[in-house]
Structure 1
């Protein structure tokens, strides 16, 4: 069997009363059932990335995790029609480590389900030379979509997750092979 792809799941919200763990844990449960992935979690609440983008040992460790990854999935909320500042800091804290790797989005929020944040993120990750997969997962009125145990019966989100993970696996395998055969010129 081919070496599993290293999928790093980035949990973007750092607010004290955040809903992110509910959405992230649900998504991680789906990923755990996929043998093509070896998963890691980069919870930005637990990683001290300086907003002035200076180099620190924490930044070096973060960049090493990114460099070792084959693909990324971001679990993000939407704040004021945008994504969290912690995620922008994370994206800007590295450069080459993101390049030529696929990324997918799991968003949540009010009426838009975080889709406005995702559309902004697609522009940013393109500038980082990443491949944003077409499928995304979105939870409008997210707190109403999960039960007390963190489960959801939202069929659209469940189906979108399966398609997104399939796209991440395809791009992850092909871009990993391409980076080995012919390093990305970025």
Structure 2
């Protein structure tokens, strides 16, 4: 999937990210609850990220020939002693879901985590109902570690979250 590339998120991405964060259909796929978020909140969020980048990496997924963001992949809460971090991804542009962009972005972020940042473990939580995401994570080498029962409240009900992780020695560098 060489039609895409990763770059650090930038101020130009703020409007699109804010639109995604206010899209209930998109947020329904994620562990976070839906909340209306004013653009000024996302502006402050980006300001905070740009001034505190030592423990997280936030990357935009873009299509070659355009600098427009179509998705984002994050390495969060980097623990430099335990050499671990939390992984998060979203493909905000519906047109690009289900055609390998998520695999490209996940593998790219894992390569960065393991080869550039020298991390040893990357973990995530995913909605139990999100079969497409779970299949993607298993495809690139994540293993299920357990279940957080009724861990989030979304759309009027409690939902389970699945904990997954991948270790550096489990990640195929041929990806």
Per the normalisation by structure 2, the TM-score is 0.37
Q: Which has the higher contact order (CA 8 A, sep 6+)?
A: 1
Q: Which has the higher helix share?
A: 1
Q: Which has the higher strand share?
A: 2
